[in-house]
């Protein structure tokens, strides 16, 4: 499968624990995005990378959240000291920036986080 | 706050009927994209329409874009039970580094 993959698909954790999610983008895609989606809502942007550089972070991304893309390939999203409000689906998407203004973003299956 | 707003929030139709949903947005865009999401799953890209395009087709899908009214519509013709899903519009803002801003979605139920 050459699509975007995410691991794990489901994560249940207790409040206060740290969790880390991984995203593997489509090979050669230079842009990688993280979104969060709560039940019944559309996804909301968290952050994005172009190659290994993190270019933008949403105000939604508190200091408990950190994302990395160390070699410009896969990315990790870590949440420290999880809270019940962090329960959501975390979606990763990738795209190929060709120098123009328009890129189709392809989404992975998401990681569903439940904080007890 | 979300840039796009879909209308209606929910839609129930019989198999074979057409389904139309609308999306409105607030600021200038590079493009507008429609995605489908089955319950609890990831988003599947359906179609992208650029700001200088007015209509686009893909199979049973027809998308229109009216930049003067800041609105778009998605038409699914001859619907099937497998089209049951949530549909989201997402705008790629000119000033926003190609990040997508999603609406709240339209939940479509196609009854067999």
Counting residues of chain B whose pLDDT is more than 70, the rounded percentage is 93
Q: Which residues, 6 or more positions from B96, have their beta carbon under 8 angstroms from its beta carbon?
A: none
Structure tokens at B26: 């607030």
Task: Mutation target for B interface from A31, A43, A89, A114: give the one with most B CBs within 10 A.
Answer: A43
The strand order across the sheet containing B5-7 reads: B5-7, B19-24, B71-76, B61-66, B55-58
Q: Name the residue with higher pLDDT: B3 or A97.
A: A97
User: pLDDT tens-digit profile of B26-53?
Assistant: 888 888 999 999 987 889 999 999 999 9
User: pLDDT tens-digit profile of B93-102?
Assistant: 766 667 899 9
Asked if B88 lies within 8 A of A110 by C-beta distance, the reply is no
Q: Name the residue with higher pLDDT: B27 or A12.
A: A12
Rounded mean pLDDT, A99-103: 60
B1: confidence class by pLDDT, cuts 50, 70, 90? very low
Q: Which residues, 6 or more positions from A71, have their beta carbon under 8 angstroms from its beta carbon?
A: A52
Taking one residue from A and the other from B, the number of pairs with CB-CB distance under 8 angstroms is 71
Structure tokens at A77: 């999203």
Counting residues of chain A whose pLDDT is more than 70, the rounded percentage is 94
DSSP helix/strand/coil, A84: helix
Give A55 to chain B, closest Cα distance, Å.
9
Residue B77's alpha-carbon distances to A19, B15, B22, B73, B90, in angstroms, are 43, 10, 15, 13, 21
Structure tokens at A7: 């691991």
Spatial distance between the Cα atoms of A57 and A60, rounded to a whole number of angstroms: 8
DSSP state of A99: S
Q: Name the residue with higher pLDDT: B110 or A60.
A: B110
Q: Name the residue with higher pLDDT: A74 or A59.
A: A74
Rounded mean pLDDT, A54-66: 90
Asked if A44 lies within 8 A of B2 by C-beta distance, the reply is yes
Rounded mean pLDDT, A52-64: 90
- The two beta strands, B43-50 and B29-37, are antiparallel
Residue A11's alpha-carbon distances to A1, A82, B99, in angstroms, are 23, 12, 26
Structure tokens at A28: 């050669």
User: pLDDT tens-digit profile of A37-51?
Assistant: 998 899 999 999 999
Rounded mean pLDDT, B62-77: 96
């Amino acid at each position: 499968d050459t699509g975007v993959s995410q691991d794990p698909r489901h994560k249940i954790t207790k409040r206060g624990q740290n969790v880390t999610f991984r995203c593997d983008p489509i090979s050669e895609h230079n842009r990688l995005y993280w979104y969060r989606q709560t039940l019944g809502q559309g996804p909301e942007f968290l952050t994005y990378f172009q190659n290994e550089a993190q270019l933008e972070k949403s105000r939604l991304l508190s200091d408990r959240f950190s994302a990395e893309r160390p070699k410009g390939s896969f990315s990790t999203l870590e949440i420290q000291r999880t809270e019940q409000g962090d329960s959501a689906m975390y979606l990763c998407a990738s795209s190929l920036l060709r120098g123009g203004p328009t890129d189709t973003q392809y989404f992975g299956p998401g990681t569903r986080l439940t904080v007890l | 706050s979300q840039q796009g707003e879909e209308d209606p929030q929910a839609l129930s139709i019989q198999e074979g009927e057409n389904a139309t949903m609308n999306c409105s947005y607030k600021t200038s865009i590079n493009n507008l994209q429609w995605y489908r999401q089955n319950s609890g799953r990831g988003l599947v890209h359906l179609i992208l329409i650029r700001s200088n395009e007015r209509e686009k087709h893909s199979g049973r899908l027809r998308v229109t874009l009216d930049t003067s009214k800041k609105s778009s519509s998605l038409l699914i013709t001859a619907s099937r039970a497998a089209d049951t899903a949530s549909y989201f519009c997402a705008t790629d803002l000119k000033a926003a580094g190609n990040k997508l801003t999603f609406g709240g979605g339209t939940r479509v139920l196609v009854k067999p």
